[in-house]
Each structure stands twice: as structure tokens, then as C-alpha cells.
Amino acid sequence: MLTIRPLTAGNLFFLALVTITGSLLSGRLDAALPNDRDGARKTPTVLAVESARPAVVNIQGKKRRQTSSQEDLNGMGTGVIIDNRGYIVTNYHVVENISVLDVTLANKSTYRGQLVAFEKESDLAVIKIDLGTENLPLLKIGTSQDLMPGETVIAVGNAYGYQHTVTKGIISALSRNVQVNETQYYYNLIQTDASINPGNSGGPLLNINGEMIGLNVAVRVGAQGIGFAIPIDSVMEKVAKMLHDQNQSTLWHGITVKTTYHKNHPQVIVQAIEKNSPADRAGLKSGDLIQAVAKQPIESCVDFERAFLGKRAGDELALAIQQSSGRQTTYNMVLAQPAVAKISLEDEVWQRLGIRCAAIPSQQVKQLNSQYRGGLHVVRVRSGSPAAAQGIQVGDILVGLHVWETLNLQNIKYVMRHDSLADIQPLKFYILRGSSTLYGHLKLANATVVTNR
């Protein structure tokens, strides 16, 4: 039943409101309300992916299947840029036995990659691409110390070759130990239900803030919605050791550091200073917090090692320090050559040739090529070394130098000490890559040390 009431001030206000609303509904809604459509769609997940995407790369290569037919397979995976000069971290199984390594950036440009270091036990590897003066983007590194089951995570990778595939889920569990085959066992993994597929390996696992908190590594065969990632703190610790190997043969600073956390914020603390080292002469002390090296901010051991990449003995670097007393200061440290001392034969080979080698069963070498009695498995190659310049790669088997076979490190020592070394350089070397024999010529770097063996 309609009730008629007299007009009042309140009725007039309501009538005006109805009139305005009617005009809005009649076609002028966009003009009357602010356009926040894009803002509403840019959720934290979208923002996290946008910030991480430029630092995620696609890895493609030819992988050799170790069978009698030596069949070549197409390999694929993902990597994360950890230094803007071209250093990338990925899983070792992504690049294992790769003969040609191609890395494609988010902008679709492709570069030839070189495997410079790996640790098979942790299934981590560092590769490098050369870009000249171009700077690469980095993503934010978080911590795996405060992860919570149930929190949102995002995986980015090249699932089945589809570049920059994004999946979302939660952390299902922490500290999982997983055996994926007879030889590979992982400890302390993050379990997630974010879809992780072949090709995702080596890609980042992000939290909702866009920080990398893990490196995707494996899926459970036959089980849907179960994937695993290596915690980022463990990844960064291993990567720092690999980069340290790139620096230690040509530089000496005398600082031992450790990444610690204060209110979940990472910081790098000096654990020890070698006596009479460049750091000692500069005035650094144990307990100092390193905030920057040559104006490069330092928040992790990886940042610290990155700061020395490409530096040479005699370079002077400014270190911004917060002392244990809280006082801010700057020290100028002049880098030096490694001290002349008795070191291991392994380290001399690393300095002079630029490789680290591991024993390999002679029968395994003979199966690849019956003309060789054995060799040494190349497990690391130092960037800028004689070996790197000649294209020697991680995974190669060194079978000979000049006219001598290389069955062990003592054979390499014999060559480095030979009276006619100066006359026979550059040395002809022979390597097995798969079943194929390759050769080249390298000139050993000058010795700065004396071995103790």
C-alpha cells in the first residue's frame, strides 16, 4: 500500500540521491567513479611474479644419454640470475652432461652458457653467460628460516618448455628428506602443492612478497600436487662457496664471513681475520658487520663473494663497516696475491690450469672410449682460467696432456714440473666429452705457490 508523506529536508536529500543514482545507472558510471580496475587486479601474486620474472631464465641444451648408442636428448630447465654480470644458479641435474648450453632471458635474447662450478651432492650448479657491459636484473632473496606450513608460495619456471609458467600453492610441509633415485638423496626440502613439472627444476619458489625462499628441484613421480624445493639459505651457502673458489686462486683478502639474521633481516658478520692479511692491515676486526664493498650493498655471503668477482690483486676496495660498538666507518683494503705458502696439489692445479678434478673408475672411461686407460673427471672450471679459455667444461674427462696420460693428479704434477715445460707450451690437451675425443692447446698460468705433495 502506497503511503503519501509531506516533503521534508530528509525527503529532498533522498530524492536528490535517487536522481544522481539514476543518472549514474543510465550510462555515466565510469565518469563518476574512479577507475581502480587495474589496481584491484594487481594482487600480491601478480606483483610477486612481475618482480621476479626478469631474473628467471630458460636453459636448453643437448644432453647425452649414457648408453651404447650415445643418443643425444634435448634437455631443459630453469635458472635464476644471482649476479648482474651473468652468473646463474640452477640444479646440477639440469646441466649434467650438457654439451651445448643455451640460456634465454626474459627479453627473449639467447646466450651461450658455460658451466663453471657444481656440487653434485646438493644438486646445485653455477653457470655463466657473457653479456659485455649489459647488466642483468636480480630478484629479491628471502630467508627459509621463518617459513610456515600453509603460507602461500609461487613457482616460476619453464614447465615442459613453456617459458615463465607460473603456479601457485602453499607450503605443505618442511624438512622433508627425499630420495629420487639410487644416487640422489635430498635433505631438508620444502614440500609444496604448487605444480612443479619437468622444466621447472632450477627455478625460484617465491613467497607472497616476491622473495625467493627456495629453488625448485623435484617432483614426486606418480603423485599429483607434490613438489619439492631446496631452502634458499642452503642454496646461498653453497653458491657462496662456489664463488669463493672463483676468487681464491687470484685474490687474497683474509676475511671469513657468515650470514646471520637480526629480526629476520640478513647481515654479514666477520667471523675471523687472517693475521697480516689485507683485511688485517686495513683494520677490520672479528665481529664487524660488512654493509657494503665498493658501494655494493652486502646482505649475504653471496653478495660478499660477488663483490670480488673480476677484481685483481692491487685493486683497492672501500668496505663500509659497522663495528661491534655500533660505530659506522669505512676501511680501504688493497687486495693481494695469494700468500706464497705450501698448498695442496689440487689448489695448484686450480690456479695454473683452472680446473678441479675427481677420480673416475678406469672402467667407466674405457666404456666411453676403449683407447684410454683412464682419466680425471672435471668437476669445476674457473672463469677466466686457461681451461675456460679453451672451452673445457664441467663433466669433461681429461685423458692427456702433451704426450702423457692423466690418470691422476700426480700425472698433472709431473707435467707442471717438467724441465721442458717452457718449450712445450702451449700444452696440447685431450678430453673425452661423451665418447668423443676433443683437443686444444692451453698455456699454464704462472705458479705463485709451492705444493706440499
> Alpha carbon of 62 to those of 70, 75, 91, 99: distances in Å?
12, 6, 16, 6
30: DSSP letter: H
Show the beta-strand stretches assigned E in 263-354: 265-273, 289-293, 296-297, 316-322, 328-334, 342-343
Query: Hey, what's the cell of 438?
Result: 676433443
Give the integer Cα–Cα distance in Å for 88 and 80. 5
- Annotated catalytic residue within 83, 93, 122, 300: 93
Name the residue type at position 269.
I
- 307: three-class secondary structure by DSSP: coil
Give the integer Cα–Cα distance in Å for 409 and 162. 44
Q: Is 123 a catalytic residue?
A: yes
Query: Hey, what's the cell of 96?
Result: 649434467
Residue appearing with cell numbers 619456471:
157
What lies within 8 Å, CB to CB, of 402 at 6+ separation is 415, 424, 427, 428
Query: Hey, what's the cell of 91?
Result: 640444479
Exposure on the CB side of residue 438, measured as CA atoms within 13 A: 14
- Annotated catalytic residue within 83, 122, 123, 303: 123
Give the integer Cα–Cα distance in Å for 434 and 63. 10
* Nearest to 299, CA basis, from 240, 245, 355: 240
CB 77 within 8 A of CB 110: no
- Annotated catalytic residue within 122, 144, 195, 201: 201
Q: Cite the active site residues.
A: 93, 123, 201
